[in-house]
Chains A and B, each alone.
Chain A
Amino acid sequence: MKALCWQGKTKVDVERVNDPTILNPRDGIVRVTRTAICGSDLHLYDGYIPSLEPGDVLGHEFMGEVVDTGSEVNRIKKGDRVVIPFTIACGQCYFCKHGLWSACDNTNPNAWMMEKLYGYSGSGLFGYSHMMGGYAGGQAQFARVPFIDVGALKVPDGLDDEKVLFLSDIFPTGYMAAENCEIKPGDVVAIWGCGPVGQFAIRSAFLLGAERVIAIDRVHERLKMARAAGAEIVNYEEVDDLVEELKWITAGRGPDSCMDAVGLEAHGHGVGAAYDYAKQRMKLSFDRPTVLRQVIQACRKGGVVSIPGVYGGFLDKIPFGAAFGKGLTFKMGQTHMHNYMDRLLKHVQQGDIDPSFVITHRLSLDEAPEAYRTFRDKQDECIKVVLDPWQEPVAA
């Protein structure tokens, strides 16, 4: 089959690889009909995530039709149309049973690797480096899904692929991030980052009862999409001091909750940002926490900081004094997908939200390597790329 493989920093290729097979009795094989490129895939593309090796298949947002199941699979049958969550959970361990699905004990074959860095290992992820399990991802024509009974969301007929694909990652991620903001009626929520996750976070914040949502970015079409959802937009490049701007907008209070939907590859300008870039180049630090610093500084006293943005390693120069002095609450982590997929599918079925709004590019798998660059550099007004692994590329 064809699959998108990582071959080095900023180098991905579509290659012919062996088809997936049932390796364990609770596996299922899915024929992928649609898959997407995630913002966190860009961290892999740019080489920021360790333990990625040439030949690894990428991709963790995918859906399709079940073509084979292992001997212990009961709920999911061949022919079912399913959306697959990007986290793999066993459903039997302490964490799964307590709703902490992305902290599953039993799905990372390389748990010892994550334990060395983090102390304890979370669940395996699709297509996200060997430290997170080393599972082949879904930017391919077929994918092997462990514990398919636990994870797969069955999709009813009558709903287009594009309407449900984002239940595999970004919609639940944005929703959980908004939930983590602990929104109460009358709250003002500020969201840094109007990429796809930010867009879903904005809409989820309104669904959860926020009175005002302030969206912060610098890319014109992303701010436009945020405004279409009802957010007030701030272009941080046109503003002298973002923290002061938010103080002005919220009449001296500060936002009740602040969300970092940007993560480790934050862009910024000024001395602090240049310092971060330099340290990363010299391999002195992994992540660039420009946005996290602003989020902590801007949040109101006693407020909540919600972090769906991915961080990998160690951060430098975090204003933790401000966090302590203001008594902030921090909520973060990989999305506990299995808590949200059914709930959000209902929202889609009821017409509360059409997730396909975020798609700007529809391409074949063969055009994916170009698409990674377009997505990363935000060219061609790119916000979200969806790939069809079975579509032949249009002859140039």
Chain B
Amino acid sequence: MTITTNLAEKNGGKAFSRRPATTNVETALTLATGAAVGIYGAVRRDWFGAALAAGGGYLVYCGVTDLRRPYQGRVRSAFTINKTPQEVYDFVRNSENWGQLLREPQFEHDGSGQITLRFGKEHAAEFKSHVEITDEKPGEFIAWASEEQMLEHRGVVRFKKAPGDRGTEISVALEYKAPTGPISHALASLAGLDPEQLIREGLRQIKQLMETGEIPTTAGQPVGARGLRGTAKRVLYHERPAAEMQPERMAGD
């Protein structure tokens, strides 16, 4: 069985696998910088120049491989949910449910394929992505692809009956292309924007919502003086002090 996740024919562009991960401008810059630094280093004819030449050579190598490397990353995550495959499918297919997930960053899906990720203080920063469902079978799988943009992604979410009476195995496999290097990728992870993190925690939250009706949280609970280190860690643990809690976020209203 082949599941289609290819928008290429429709959009007239190159297929996902053939498009390079970095933009043309970035590749050109990398090649140019590498060549310049390399030539300068070689011309200097000293040990420092030799080091520069080696660095420049590495940048040229990066630029060349950028032209050839199609994918940036793959994510695979699966969870078991104590509900039937049809129930889990219906929950995921209904875009209104996504508003309850991933409070930090906030995940929103309007009915027509526009996904918005909001993060930062008061959710000021936004990231938009337009996706299309390329293939689906109710109760079994949904395949999607995003349009060509800075962060592209395509993948499949599957719903399978789990062994015994354990419910449903929900699994997501996706590929994404992002023009980021390892350092910015690591920084994005700290802000909770690593694709693997987002997908895994999103699936976990779907499981928690479907099985218990709520997502466990400690945001806004009693906390003593944090100090410098503690305040830095507060970002890592996605905590917000009680004073920042908006009234409408508290359930029971």
Contacts and interface: CB of A to CB of B under 8 A. Distances in A.
Contacts of B225: 5, 7, 15, 54-55
B226 to A, nearest CB: 4
Contacts of B61: none
Interface stretch (B121-129, B145-153, B199-207): B199-207
Interface string B198-233: 001100100110011111111111111111011001
Given A24-B251, A71-B251, A3 B222 contact: yes
Contacts of B241: 18
A147 B212 contact: yes
Contacts of A144: 221-222
Nearest to B237: A130
Contacts of A57: 222-224
B229 A54 contact: yes
B216 A92 contact: no
A13 B82 contact: no
Nearest to A17: B222
A108 B167 CA distance: 21
Given A24-B251, A25-B251, A94 B224 contact: no
Interface centre among B207, B220, B242, B251 (most CB of A within 10 A): B251
Nearest to B238: A109
Contact of A54 (B227, B242, B251): B227
Interface residues of A, number: 51
A93 B215 CA distance: 13
Contacts of A54: 224-227, 229-230
A90 B212 CA distance: 6
B69 to A, nearest CB: 28
A258 to B, nearest CB: 35
B197 A112 contact: yes
Nearest to A73: B252
Contacts of B245: 21
Given A54-B229, A93-B211, A106-B212, A17 B223 contact: yes
Given A18-B223, A54-B226, A112 B218 contact: no
A142 B221 CA distance: 11
B250 interface: yes
A105 B203 CA distance: 13
A23 interface: yes
Given A55-B230, A130-B237, A72 B223 contact: no
B218 A109 contact: yes
Contact of B222 (A7, A19, A88, A124): A19
Interface stretch (A132-140, A153-161, A238-246, A347-355): A132-140
Interface string B143-183: 00000000000000000000000110000000000000000
Interface in B59-115: 80, 82
B218 A56 contact: no
Contacts of B213: 25-26, 72
Given A5-B225, A106-B216, 12 more contacts: A3-B224, A18-B242, A20-B222, A21-B245, A24-B215, A26-B213, A27-B252, A54-B226, A124-B216, A130-B233, A135-B221, A136-B222
Return the 8 tightest CB-CB contacts between A and B, nearest first. A5-B224, A55-B224, A25-B251, A55-B226, A18-B242, A15-B224, A90-B212, A92-B211
